[in-house]
Amino acid sequence: MTTPQTPSAPQPATLPVVRLLPKANARAIRHGFPWVYANELVTDRRTRGLAPGTLARLEDENRTPMGLVAVNPTSKIIARMLDQDPEAEIDQAWFETRIARALALRSQLYDQPYYRLIHAEADGLPGVIIDRFGDTCVIQPNAAWADTLLAPLVAALQSVTGVANVLKNASGRTRKLEGLDDTSTTLAGTTPEGPLPVPMNGATYMADLTGGQKTGLFYDQRPNHAFAANLARNGARVLDVFAHVGGFSLAALANGASSALAVDGSAPALELAEAGAAAMNMQDRFATRQGDAFDVLTALRDEGETFDVVICDPPAFAPSRQAVEAGLRAYERIARLSAQLVAENGILGLCSCSHAADLGQFRTASVRGIGRAGRRAMLLHTGFAGADHPQLPQLAESGYLKSLFFRL
């Protein structure tokens, strides 16, 4: 176990000052936009010399104080707003206030401690993700300031929630953009042995907190799993593509589907899905197929297979603005291939977690793909991330997840 060392944080009176350029949108920042981009800040030699994660006071072009920010001169997002009070002290008590507020919301939403506890900017901790799995929390400190202040963050997390174990997950593209390492470790307590069972929507999921994708489970799709499961409740045959640990398929089985086939490129993920089905005593109604999703969809079409409910939940095909055009073509192709496998009057669910492709673009690509499959569709429902993934209204990127459900 590696315990983060408490940094000697500078007192408010000694904090450096960074200043907005005249062209910066100071009004948006005052109204809650949490980021300052590198081309909006005066980047003189002193500012460029600040260590990533340094706390500083932010001023507008007229030297009027705007708040307390965390600075990373190596990042495109050069400053993240932590507190609109420029005199705030970022210590354990500060973290406790924010975590307690987040916990109160999740306690209203869920009767069991399995959820996203901290959703970055929306919960007042920019760049910080914390998922809770009972007595264990997994932190993704995706911004340099959070990496620097892990010790008071972990202490506050345990103080507020009472969890015994805290793990650090250092994987992901965002940490690389911040210039951070990719070393995951145990910050407090012990590392759970083996996958943990997670109850959700009547199903049991097996979450690998150390070797799985992201923090081990995707809580964001919880309401969309439930919507799809309801559509499958009368003995439907379900195809779950990009299934990971069986998100849509296991929920469908738990709520009355007759069978489910889970497709994914990861053999370990499908093994976890099979373990979940076994934990539910539904392994005889559950099957898996490993392989590239596009290839498997094509093969299933050639085999003449059809399903009552087909769900495709791929990784982000458009993770950046530069990738939007190629990503939309991929979403269109997925829609075309999967629509060919939907039985008459069946359901097709298509999902996107690409924040760079907005809902309108994703819907257009999906409808075009369905049309090119020779199918006609009605849009039944548009779903988003669950309420434990709140959106910051000023930050469009926080509304990344879109799910479209069609009847073909």
d(CA 291, CA 265): 5
* C-alpha 321 chain-centroid distance: 18
- Catalytic annotation present for 312: no
Whether the predicted pLDDT of 205 surpasses 90: yes
Poorest-confidence range of 9-13, 193-197, 341-345? 9-13
Per-residue tokens: 381: 């429902």
Domain boundaries, the chain: 12-83, 92-188, 196-407
Per-residue tokens: 385: 């991330």
Residue 168, number of CB atoms within 10 A of its CB: 19
| Helix, coil or strand: residue 191 | coil
Poorest-confidence range of 3-12, 64-73, 294-303, 333-342? 3-12
Which pLDDT does position 8 carry in this prediction? 45
* C-alpha 193 chain-centroid distance: 24
Its CATH architecture, for the domain 12-83, is Roll (2.30)
d(CA 332, CA 322): 17
Question: For the domain 92-188, what is the CATH superfamily, name and number?
Answer: RNA methyltransferase domain (HRMD) like (3.30.750.80)
Using pLDDT thresholds of 50, 70 and 90, give the confidence band for residue 245.
Answer: very high
Cβ proximity of 219 and 388 under 8 Å = yes
Residue type, 305: E
Whether the predicted pLDDT of 258 surpasses 60: yes
Which pLDDT does position 9 carry in this prediction? 54
pLDDT of 134-189, one tens digit each? 999 999 999 999 999 999 999 999 999 999 999 999 987 888 888 899 999 999 99
321 vs 327: which has the higher pLDDT: 327
Cβ proximity of 74 and 178 under 8 Å = yes
* Over residues 333-361, mean pLDDT: 96
Which pLDDT does position 173 carry in this prediction? 81
* Over residues 270-282, mean pLDDT: 97
Which pLDDT does position 12 carry in this prediction? 54
* Over residues 27-55, mean pLDDT: 95
* Over residues 223-246, mean pLDDT: 97
Tell me, yes or no, if the pTM score tops 0.85.
yes
Question: For the domain 196-407, what is the CATH superfamily, name and number?
Answer: Vaccinia Virus protein VP39 (3.40.50.150)
Half-sphere exposure of 322 (CA within 13 A, CB side): 0
For strands 136-141 and 203-207, give the pairing: unpaired
Which pLDDT does position 396 carry in this prediction? 83
Whether the predicted pLDDT of 385 surpasses 50: yes
Which pLDDT does position 366 carry in this prediction? 98
Query: Please, which residues bridge with residue 129 across strands?
Result: 119, 140
- Mean pLDDT taken over the chain: 94
For tokens 């596009």, what's the residue? 294
